[in-house]
Structure 1
């Protein structure tokens, strides 16, 4: 299992996006008229499995951070927020599998007639079919209560034969941010529909059947990526399968990274951030892409030097290592650079904001492209920084009135 505290209960890219967005939203709320504190959001979970699973065979587990106490908490079938503790692992009614005990924090669709989503941060809504997901509560190295999530790279993980998927969300006084995700894997099709005040409505996710997705994936992605679908339980992201360190495709992006670093040692890479409010011009020195801020004369200039280290294939695919470090400006630069590598447009900044130019040559993250090709309005989280240029499946509204989660098969 992957050991996480509640701060890392979402994908790295989603965490990074919220780290950048939420402070800005909070600032806007303090400057403008204060947003009202909206109540828990009525949440409908629809069984769209076409008879493959009855309502009492579809399980939901919701975990997140209590905004008041900061504690890891779980949500009951009627929407109550309950603090989690290590003692839950062995409490009355606990789950057991492979000789290990796990907390019974989930419920079935048959029990979720009055579900509401309370305010939480760094939240996940796990959905599984046939049996619940097994999440061990623990105390992390930093002393915070956390949980061990599903980890298919661990051969003894209790969830390895569990068909599961999840949503990610944060809901606070500034609004709701929620998304579907294939950053780590695909288990089965999920859809998400959110309505809000003022006529807001947005729907994202995957509507195709699971069988058709599997068949299309094997037919449409290059051979290097097909092995991610070897298991009938899930389709793994490349960084979680044969593109990981020590695996056959571990050097997939390496020559492309070398080419980009050589290219930008002879000419500048200019990146505009925060809606063009700040501009950074960088050039490679050794293994470091050294950026200096350009003063645009608009009052947003901070100045200083910002460094991005040369990434590996795993850094590009997983948004980690050299592409997940530094201060906020460096992390924002790393987001754009990682996205450009995944989309094979690193050498031409004019294509960074043009989705029609992405994934047109190898090497590219064809796993991510596949999910865009098969998602509503082509919006998907195929890699951790897929929110760059607003291509992710994130739904955001300041005043949500209803959430509908569709569980397909």
Structure 2
């Protein structure tokens, strides 16, 4: 890897703002405190920060990022905690009528409340928090990276997974993946350790081996979600149900009622504490947190400007 050209822009002082022009693109806006992030290039493209790797040059830098798509159809801008929870910020978009939609803002005291919530949760969840040698908290890794680094045990979700697989050996899991297509339903049953989904005609359309925690936290591997109209939507729904621990209490998925989320003792406590501290309850705490529209996203087809607000830590 070779150093990437320095494309950094000095950030605003407290209470001030900096205006930049955004290209039509799908990408990220990174922001860091105290020092610039290190970016490098390889023949495969840009090497982005990967702080789950202890040797990453950005491991001890306090930073975060927002993700966006800007094209001829408008702007989609979100705050994300899919990889980590770190420096707090919110996002907003100004509409043609001058009104502004915002999301991603923590409650007062929410930043420390998330960290304390992880620390107080048994089972190793506090091990997700990374600090600098001087004691400064830098971030909490996502559970997926917690598994990769050994912060969380690989068996962290086994009890819930086993109970789900057992339940649907004798019950049917009905998935209605498209809110605007209530007639499109798939029916899942476990047999021989495999959950098979059939359509309304009784034909098998896809199947899933029993997932492990990594497959669930990453919504990949045994819960891979291709960009198609059958397996991907079913997998997305399963993934959200496992994260939110709704699969045992509701055989009709997705369950879009946030009051039902994270009720089981074995659940994604990282997502649970983040959502609990958001002003509007919305966050992107895992890849398919948009199932049921619980994601922290703003969109407008004809945006006037977008805002990323770096929020106070306290």
Normalising by structure 2, we get a TM-score of 0.86
Offset at residue 219 of structure 1 (A)? 5.7
Deviation at 1:124, TM superposition (A): 0.7
| CA shift in 2, pair 1:236/1:256, >3 Å | same
Which of 137, 141, 144 is residue 239 of structure 1 equivalent to?
144
C-alpha deviation, 1:396, in angstroms: 1.7
Structure with greater proportional helix content: 1
Gaps of 5+ in 2: 132-136
SS of the aligned residue for 2:235 comes to helix
Q: Note the aligned Cα RMSD (angstroms).
A: 2.5
Q: Is the 8 A contact 2:124 2:151 kept in 1?
A: no
| Structure-2 change in CA distance of 1:400 and 1:133 (3 Å) | same
Q: What is the match of residue 288 of structure 1?
A: 194
Distance (Å, rounded) in 2 between the aligned partners of 1:313 and 1:156:
25
Displacement, 1:217?
A: 3.1
1:391 aligns with 2:294: yes
3-state SS, counterpart of residue 124 of structure 2: helix
Aligned twin of 1:401: 304
Q: CA, structure 1 residues 120+221, in 2 after alignment: closer, same or farther (shift >3 Å)?
A: same
| Equivalent in the alignment of 1:28 | none
Residues 105 and 383 of structure 1, relative CA distance in 2, 3 Å threshold: same
Q: Summarize deviations over 1:183-238 as a string: whole Å, max 9, x none.
A: 11122111111122256532111344686346543565445211112422111112
Determine which of 234, 241, 256 is the counterpart of 1:340: 241
What is the CA–CA distance in structure 2 between the aligned matches of 1:233 and 1:361, rounded to whole Å?
29
Answer yes or no: is the 8 Å Cα contact 2:215–2:221 preserved in 1: yes
Partner residue of 1:257 out of 149, 156, 161: 161
Q: Supply the distance in 2 between the matched residues of 1:174 and 1:211 (Cα, whole angstroms).
A: 34
SS, match of residue 117 in structure 1: coil
Q: Which residue of 2 aligns with 1:34?
A: none
Distance 1:110 1:343, change over 3 A: closer
Aligned match for 1:150, one of 43, 49, 52: 49
Alignment match, 2:134: none
Q: Mind listing any 5+ residue stretches in structure 1 that lack a counterpart?
A: 1-85, 90-100, 141-145, 296-302
- TM-score w.r.t. the length of structure 1 is 0.67
Q: Alignment partner for residue 196 of structure 1, among 95, 118, 126? A: 95
The within-5 A match list for 1:68-79 is none
1:381 aligned partner: 284
Verify the 8 A CA contact 1:194 1:404 in the aligned structure 2: yes
Q: Does 2:261 correspond to 1:358?
A: yes
TM-aligned CA distance change 1:110 to 1:373, over 3 Å: closer
> Partners in 2 of 1:190 and 1:217 — Cα distance?
19
Deviation at 1:376, TM superposition (A): 2.4
Query: Is residue 189–residue 209 contact of structure 1 (8 Å, CA) maintained in 2?
Result: no
Aligned length in residues = 297
Structure 2 counterparts to residues 6-405 of structure 1, below 5 A = 89=2, 101-110=3-12, 113-121=18-26, 123-140=27-44, 146-198=45-97, 201-207=100-106, 208=108, 212-213=112-113, 216-218=116-118, 221-231=121-131, 232-241=137-146, 243-244=147-148, 248-275=152-179, 276-294=182-200, 305-326=205-226, 328=228, 329-347=230-248, 348-350=250-252, 352-405=255-308
